[in-house]
Amino acid sequence: MALKTAEKYLESLRKLDLKVWMFGEKVQNIVDHPVIRPSINSVAKTYELAQNDAHSSLMTVASSLSGERINRFTHLHQSAGDLVNKVKMQRLMGQKTATCFQRCVGMDAINALDSVTYEMDLKLGTKYHANFRSFLRYIQDNDLVVDGAMTDPKGDRSLRPSQQPDPDMYLRIVSQNSDGIVVRGAKAHQTGAINSHEICIMPTVAMTEADKDYAVSFAIPSDSSGITYIYGRQSCDTRKLEGSSIDVGNALYGGQEALVVFDDVFVPRDRVFMCREFQFSGALVERFAGYHRQSYGGCKVGVGDVLIGAAAQMAEYNGAAGASHVKDKIIEMIHLNETLYSCGIACSCQGHRTPSGTYLIDMLLANVCKQNVTRYPYEIARLAEDIAGGLMVTMPSEKDFRHPEIGPYIEKYLKGVAGVPTEHRMRMLRLVENITLGCAAVGYRTESMHGAGSPQAQRIMIARQANLEHKKKLARIISGIDREE
C-alpha cells in the first residue's frame, strides 16, 4: 500500500539510527523528545489528512509512475491543476498545524530534479533520469518523507565555492570510483531533516567549471553513516520542556531546522543525479527555487489564516471587536493574506509542461509571489500584535496561573470581557505570540524572509524573467516610434 498512516510514520522514525545533537547532548530518542515531537506531529498530519475522507482528494493523487494512489507530497505535477492543488493542500496544512509541516522542500526538490535530469541526459547522454525515477518510485511506494537539501553554509559570500579558504563551505565531491562518490560538507537550515527518511542534495548556486566538484545532486537514507544533525534553536523552545500547553501557544505542532554535516559520506552510483555537470546546476537551482517560492503562496497563507483568526478572536476577548480601526486592521490582514494566495494560484495556473512531462510554474509569477511573502507576513504579524495588546509579551506563566495563592489574582486581573474565561484569553495570546515571535515564527515570520532565497534573489529572477525589452517595444509601437509586426 502506497499510503502510510500517521502511526506507521511514527513507527518508521523509531527505526532510524540518526546521530542528532541538541543543547550539547546527543539525543537518544527523537520521537518522544519534547522539543522535537511537535515538529514530528506536523509531518504526521500530512499522513493523517491523506487518510481523512474529507481531505483525501486533495492530499492524495494517482501516481504518474505506478498509477497507485500516493501522497501528493511525493507526486510529480502532471498539469496546471496539480500545481493549483499543491498550493491548496499547503494552505490546508498551514490551517491545520499553524506552523511548518516540512514536506514541501522534498516535494519541490523531486519536481525540479525530474525535469533537469531528463534534459541533462538528453544533452549529455548521462543516465541520471533513470536513477532519479527509480529513487522516486521507491519514495512513492513507501510514502517516505524527503528532505530537500540545497542551502550550503557558503562561508565568504564574496567568493565562489572553489575560492573559499575552507573548501567544505559548499558540499563537494572529494572522491569517486565505479561504485559511487564520497562527499563532504554541510547543509544549513534544513527544514524537517530529522523527521525525514531520505536526504536529497542539490547544489545551492549555479556553478562554473572551476566549481564542478560542487555541482552534485544525490539522495541517501537520512541515517547513512557519516551524517550528523545539529538541532537548530528556536525562540521559546525550552518552554516545551516545561509541560505547559498554555505557555507554548501551539503545544501540539511545530517546525524544525537543523545543520546537517556530511563527513566523507559514501553515495552509491545509482543514487547520484548530478556529478560535476556544472552546466545544469543553475537550471536545477532556479527550478527548485521557483517551485519553493510558489509553495509560500500556500503554506504561509494557511498559517496566516490561523493568525488572522487569533487576532479577530482576541479583539472579541478584549471587547474591541466593534472598533472601526480594529475592523479595518483585520480587513487589511485578510487582504494581504489573500494577495499572497492569489500569487500562488496565479503562478500555478500559468504553469507549463517540461520535456520530462512534469509541469513547471510560471517562474516570474512564482518569484513575485515570494517577494510579496518577504513583506506581507511581517505586516500581518504587526497588525496581530497591535490587536492582541501588550499582555502578549508580559503575561505571567501557566504555573503562576495554576498557583493556589497568586492564581486568583491572575484570574481576576487578566480578565477581558465577561463570559470569556481568563484561561481562554491567555491561550489565545500565547498562540499569537507563538506565531509572531515564538517557535512558529521560524515557519512564518522569519522564514518568510529567508526561506527559498533572500528577497534579493527573487528580485534578480524577476529582472531576468520580466522581458523588459518586450515592454519597451510595446511602448515604442504605441508611441509611434516602431510599427507593429
The CA distance from 39 to 222, in Å, is 17
Categorize the per-residue pLDDT at 436 as very low, low, confident or very high, splitting at 50, 70 and 90.
Answer: very high
Categorize the per-residue pLDDT at 2 as very low, low, confident or very high, splitting at 50, 70 and 90.
Answer: confident
257 annotated active-site: yes
Catalytic site residue from 253, 296, 317, 341 = 296
Catalytic site residue from 97, 104, 291, 358 = 104
Q: What is the pLDDT of residue 356?
A: 98
As a whole number, mean pLDDT of residues 322-345 equals 98
Q: What is the pLDDT of residue 208?
A: 97
100 annotated active-site: yes
Categorize the per-residue pLDDT at 300 as very low, low, confident or very high, splitting at 50, 70 and 90.
Answer: very high
How do 216-221 and 272-275 pair as beta strands?
antiparallel
46 annotated active-site: no
Look at residue 36 and give its three-state secondary structure.
Answer: coil
Catalytic site residue from 286, 385, 433, 447 = 447
Categorize the per-residue pLDDT at 462 as very low, low, confident or very high, splitting at 50, 70 and 90.
Answer: very high
pLDDT higher at 453 or 409: 409
236 annotated active-site: no
200 annotated active-site: no
Burial class for 26, CB neighbours closer than 10 Å (0-12, 13-18, 19+): exposed
The CA distance from 82 to 65, in Å, is 15
Q: Which helix (H) or strand (E) holds 90?
A: helix 80-97
The CA distance from 474 to 482, in Å, is 9
Share of the chain above pLDDT 70, in %: 99
48 annotated active-site: no
Categorize the per-residue pLDDT at 271 as very low, low, confident or very high, splitting at 50, 70 and 90.
Answer: very high
Cα 447 to Cα 67, 183, 370, 384, 463, distances in angstroms: 35, 28, 11, 18, 23
As a whole number, mean pLDDT of residues 224-244 equals 95
Q: Read off the pLDDT of residues 468-481 as tens digits, 9 standing for 90 and up.
A: 999 999 999 999 99
The CA distance from 385 to 310, in Å, is 10
In this model, does residue 465 exceed pLDDT 90?
yes
Q: Read off the pLDDT of residues 192-212 as tens digits, 9 standing for 90 and up.
A: 999 999 999 999 999 999 999
Distance of CA 397 to the CA centre of its chain: 31
List of residues 6+ apart from 369 with CB closer than 8 A: 293, 294, 296, 297, 340, 343, 344, 346, 347
Say if domain 6-85+102-278 classifies as CATH 2.40.110.10: yes
Q: Is 453 left (phi over 0), alpha (psi -120 to 50) or beta?
A: left
The CA distance from 34 to 395, in Å, is 23
The CA distance from 428 to 113, in Å, is 42
Q: Which residues pair with 181 in a beta bridge?
A: 176, 267
The CA distance from 146 to 149, in Å, is 9
398 annotated active-site: no
Q: What is the pLDDT of residue 1?
A: 57
Is 19:85 a contact under the CB 8 Å cutoff? no
The domain locations on the chain are 6-85+102-278, 283-472
Q: Where are the beta strands (DSSP E) in 28-171?
A: 60-62, 69-71, 146-149
In 3D, which of 54, 56, 106, 115 has the Cα closest to residue 295? 106
Look at residue 213 and give its three-state secondary structure.
Answer: helix
296 annotated active-site: yes
User: CA angle 150-156-160, nearest 5°?
Assistant: 65
In this model, does residue 449 exceed pLDDT 90?
no
Catalytic site residue from 299, 347, 369, 439 = 299
Q: Read off the pLDDT of residues 27-56 as tens digits, 9 standing for 90 and up.
A: 999 999 999 999 999 999 999 999 999 999
As a whole number, mean pLDDT of residues 110-129 equals 98
CATH code reported for the domain at 283-472? 1.20.140.10
Q: CA torsion 212→217→223→224, rounded to 10°?
A: -50
Categorize the per-residue pLDDT at 60 as very low, low, confident or very high, splitting at 50, 70 and 90.
Answer: very high
Q: Which helix (H) or strand (E) holds 89?
A: helix 80-97
The CA distance from 414 to 245, in Å, is 18
Look at residue 127 and give its three-state secondary structure.
Answer: coil
Mean pLDDT estimate for the chain: 96
The CA distance from 363 to 463, in Å, is 11
Catalytic site residue from 77, 100, 200, 374 = 100
